[in-house]
Amino acid sequence: MEALHEATTVRHTGTASPIREAQAGDVDAFERLYRENVEHIYALCLRLSADAVRADELTQDVFVHAWTKLGSFRGDSAFSTWLHRLAVNVVLGGKRSDKRRAARVQITGDLSIFDAGVAPPRVGDRMDLEDAVARLPDAARTIFVMHEIEGYTHDEIARLTGRAEGTCKTLLHRARKLLRESLAR
């Protein structure tokens, strides 16, 4: 996991470090950190939420949250790694809130009919896989993105999602099967 993010590590040594400046309350320095990291955070938010508008919201939440937590960053890991972890927590926390909110208005009837209306992805380029991942059930998509794309271990995913490790493995297996079927159409 750590290695995956080394390439986007923000160097934070020296007095001109944007991290130190941001920690001191410099919004311009924080904007530089935002510009350096936003695309990676947005990619994570987009894949976990499968919703471009929601990904915009989550990305904003991540950076606002990062601003409030900057004081707790001590440089033990790369800033991008710290930010990535924070983003995962924000997105997964958002999913739990979404479920609570959705539960307030219960819709009856069989909405699974909508699944039949989803066009199968085309085969041949990476958008096929992005589309197919986006159409996975939420829990399976979360585990697939975290394990297969972001490189988290099952142990890390279990801790971050609050699920049993065995459940994470089962969900990953399901995601793989669904993607294989979807991409083979």
Interface with another protein in residues 67-96 (CB under 8 A): 67-68, 94-95
57 in contact with another protein (CB under 8 A): yes
125 residue type, one letter = D
| Closer residue to another protein, CB minimum distance, 14 or 34 | 34
Question: Should residue 126 be labelled a site residue for another protein when binding is judged by CB under 8 A?
Answer: yes
Q: Which residues contact 94 (CB under 8 A, 6 or more apart)?
A: 49, 58, 61
d(CA 102, CA 182): 27
Among 2, 6, 98, 155, binds another protein (CB under 8 A): 98
Among 21, 148, 160, 167, binds another protein (CB under 8 A): 148
How far is residue 142's CA from residue 70's CA, in Å, rounded to a whole number?
26
- Contact call for residue 21 and another protein (CB under 8 A): no
How far is it, in rounded angstroms, from Cα 59 to Cα 40?
10
- Does 104 bind another protein (CB under 8 A)? Our answer is yes
Report if residue 121 touches another protein, rule: CB under 8 A: no
Closer to another protein at the Cβ: 15 or 68? Answer: 68
C-beta of 156: minimal distance to another protein in Å? 13
| CB nearer to another protein: pick between 14 and 124 | 124
